[in-house]
Structure 1
């Protein structure tokens, strides 16, 4: 995946309006907004980031598109991006890890910077030196099959690995349980998975599906958790602190 990361700076007009492509799934998008609010050193409503959240759960399933011949979500993601830009968004962020695999095509020709969850997460992991023997990548089958995180970690020199075959199906079950609102079932599945991953050398867990932070938190089963949504939210807030909206 070509990097389109903008860690950075609002466009020259300086409104700081951020467009969030969400709905993949709805709970993850709500959590992302909470992360942005929590990261903001605000003392009043007007101190928070101005956002447009496009929450469309009708966007075809990204993992199914990659592994099961499902409908391609590219055009739906592109339509969301174009609508946000038309509404004034000067920066985009996509609140779904698996969707990042489709972004080169979905955002082709759209001249608005993107904050990439993948790039920001790998940057922070390298900067903090997390992971010990390796970061265990907890993600959908589609994200795992794409290699997007494996390649990004390898390029940054950060050891990382995907769950072995007996564990990965349980992670997918946990993701589906979160989508269905059954957090207790998801927690039980992930506790077992985390115990096995620790035995195989995991020094940290990567919540590389946006459903997982709802269960994992900042630490889970004694292992630190890298949450791409939280890290992207913190990056957005940092990058906009100097914009006119916060002056």
Structure 2
């Protein structure tokens, strides 16, 4: 295997556990037979980037200058391509692309590509994500153009999703599993044929249970796209 992209830069820290999860999934997605076959990765783990959802709700500082600072840090480190394991921050994806000459691999576009190739019969797709991702229409704007219907939880269940996200950020995992299983069942009741885990904290829970609906792990979709890009597949 020949790695085409010399160095991948990850704008990370939103949150650190989600960044670590992406790194692990890139390793799994890369068809390496020896150390030298893996992708050269530089991670700028920057947890001080302000809360993306808080900003989109009008309650916090704009994270964009911090995200661009991270992108510029990685650019100066001579990376060849950028990515970012935070779905909500993809509200700023065009700002990032306009601020750097480097290619940027989007987690949202990677997820769309995966659904087109592996879930072609799913048109009613659930989205479990932060309030910011939903309000910012991060998935809606791209998926609706492709004639997919994005379904989000009712307000009460969405509130539970947010509690789970921030609980995982605080290092709490297994205590969220039962509530998360109930949310998946709720999405099934709403008519979802599959569900996108559109917050990079949520796929971390998949190791603890077997969901009752097909789920699309956005982090794994991004990792797969990165491996394909890097190896020229």
TM-score by length of 2: 0.92
* CA deviation map 1:186-229 (0-9, x unaligned): 21221111111111111211110000000135984311111121
Aligned counterpart for 1:183 among listed residues 161, 173, 180: 173
Contact 2:83 2:106 in 1 (8 A): yes
Query: 1:148: which partner in 2?
Result: 138
In 1, Cα distance between equivalents of 2:44 and 2:230 = 20
Q: Once superposed, what is the RMSD of the aligned Cα atoms?
A: 2.0
In 2, Cα distance between equivalents of 1:191 and 1:131 = 23
* CA deviation map 1:90-109 (0-9, x unaligned): 10001110011023224423
Query: 1:3: which partner in 2?
Result: none
In 2, Cα distance between equivalents of 1:182 and 1:218 = 12
Aligned residue for 1:20, secondary structure, equals strand
Alignment of 1:13-162 (within 5 A): 16-129=6-119, 132=122, 134-162=124-152
Alignment of 1:209-224 (within 5 A): 209-216=199-206, 220-224=210-214
The count of residues paired between Structure 1 and Structure 2 equals 231
In 1, Cα distance between equivalents of 2:208 and 2:94 = 30
Structure 2 residue ranges without an equivalent (≥5): none
Distance 1:62 1:131, change over 3 A: farther
* CA deviation map 1:50-95 (0-9, x unaligned): 0110111000010111014201000000000001011111100011
Structure 1 residue ranges without an equivalent (≥5): 1-9
Query: 2:221: which partner in 1?
Result: 231
Aligned residue for 1:166, secondary structure, equals helix
Task: Give the C-alpha shift of residue 43 in structure 1.
Answer: 1.5
Query: 1:174: which partner in 2?
Result: 164
Aligned residue for 1:154, secondary structure, equals helix
In 2, Cα distance between equivalents of 1:200 and 1:63 = 24
Contact 1:126 1:156 in 2 (8 A): no
In 2, Cα distance between equivalents of 1:183 and 1:89 = 33
TM-score by length of 1: 0.87
